[in-house]
Structure 1
Amino acid sequence: MIVTLVIICEAGFWVLLAAGLALRYLAGRKRLGAAVLLMEPVLELVLLVATAVDLRNGAEPDWKHGLAALYIGYTVAYGHSTVTWLDGHAAHRFGGAPRPAKPPRYGAARARHEGRLWLRTVLAAAVAVALLQCAVWYVGGANDTGPLTAWQLSAAQLVGVHGAVALTYTLWPKKPPKGRDGGQGEAAGTAASARR
């Protein structure tokens, strides 16, 4: 049931996003579109409650509960920026707004961008680890909580791997091709990153 609910929440995220953007830019109903977009967090709340009820009803803690916690952490950290990014593209395509700037590709600006993305991953992992710890306390010593603590370790490993990748952009910054001015792309990318 939990895996099915994770899939439903993911599909629901994209359905609500498409509906909200369509209402905003195709139907001209900006307030209604914004209201639909604000319903996105309800999906994570439903998944959280369903996971807690499943555990309370005596389900053995396993990988499905860990997946739910990781999914909720990911949507908390990356959900808003995904909506903002797609909203900017929809505003450009259907609302006449300027084209959103691309992320920086070179140098220190790219390193800062990657660092900000890594901080989002840290937030995602922190939320997941906290939810998993609450689940460990919730089920108590009566059940084997090993699968839940294993997911906590996986979340920490994810932070480490992403951190190592982000660090490479600082240690070995990518340089623009010779004869090409990377400054404009970096400035535009920095502006885009500031919005996320």
Structure 2
Amino acid sequence: MIAWIIAAEIAFWIVILFGLVARYILKKPKLSFFLFSLTLVIDSLLILLTAIDLKAGTPASISHGIAAIYIGVSIAYGKTMISWADEQFQRWFLKTGDKKVRLTGSAKGKHEIKMLIRHVVAFLIGTGLLSITALYIGSQSDTSSLFQVMKVWGIVLTIDAIISISYVIFPSQK
């Protein structure tokens, strides 16, 4: 299962890289869009492989929970990750693009809250998938590891929320 998650992550970044090459080097925007769209296919395949693995009788494990986290994060942060990769590609390979601006003050607080909202969306997607998975396998298998993943992720989300909100309450100085 972990191998599938690693393969999905590698495939995600390869598809992004090829999409950027298609966009900037080959000047093929439609091909670029198609390649970026493949990230959704990668997520769908990971969901399918996870379901097949569980249906085959594999006991639910933390790695199944990590797959749900990966999918939630990929969906919630996908556009942001592609934008980040796009900026880096322009800066590193094309020697263009804007200089990285370090956010401070209320701008940093707004950015942190936007990222927190994405984290909440990722959490809702991931825990939704974990809940559906627990229902899917029912009483056939012990699903406590899936709920353990949800608890740990909930703690991580709470810490992220405290840190993100602190940037609003105590804005950094310029």
- State whether TM-score is above 0.5: yes
Letter in 2 for 1:90: F
Q: Deviations over 1:22-58 (max 9, x none)?
A: 1111122222122111111111100000000111111
C-alpha distance in structure 2 between counterparts of 1:141 and 1:32, whole Å: 45
Partner of 2:122: 124
- Give runs of aligned pairs for residues 93-172 of structure 1, distance below 5 A: 98-99=97-98, 102=101, 104=103, 106-172=104-170
- Give the alignment's Cα RMSD to 1 decimal: 1.8
Letter in 2 for 1:19: F
C-alpha distance in structure 2 between counterparts of 1:41 and 1:146, whole Å: 28
Letter in 2 for 1:156: G
TM-aligned CA deviation for residue 95 of structure 1:
6.7
Q: What SS does the aligned partner of 1:39 have?
A: helix
Partner of 1:44: 43
- Give runs of aligned pairs for residues 1-196 of structure 1, distance below 5 A: 2-91=1-90, 98-99=97-98, 102=101, 104=103, 106-176=104-174
Q: Deviations over 1:39-98 (max 9, x none)?
A: 111111000000001111111111111110111111111111110222244356667875
Letter in 2 for 1:121: H
Larger radius of gyration: 1
Gaps of 5+ in 2: none
Letter in 2 for 1:51: T
C-alpha distance in structure 2 between counterparts of 1:25 and 1:109, whole Å: 30
TM-aligned CA deviation for residue 101 of structure 1:
5.9
Q: Deviations over 1:94-135 (max 9, x none)?
A: 67875276352x211111111111111111111110000001
Gaps of 5+ in 1: 177-196
Contact 1:72–1:128, Cα closer than 8 Å, also in 2: yes
Q: What SS does the aligned partner of 2:173 have?
A: coil
Percentage of pairs with the same residue: 26
Letter in 1 for 2:83: T
Using the size of structure 2 for normalisation, the TM-score is: 0.92
Letter in 1 for 2:162: A
Instruction: Give the 3 Å change call, closer, same or farther, for CA 51–139 of structure 1 in structure 2.
Output: same
C-alpha distance in structure 2 between counterparts of 1:73 and 1:13, whole Å: 14
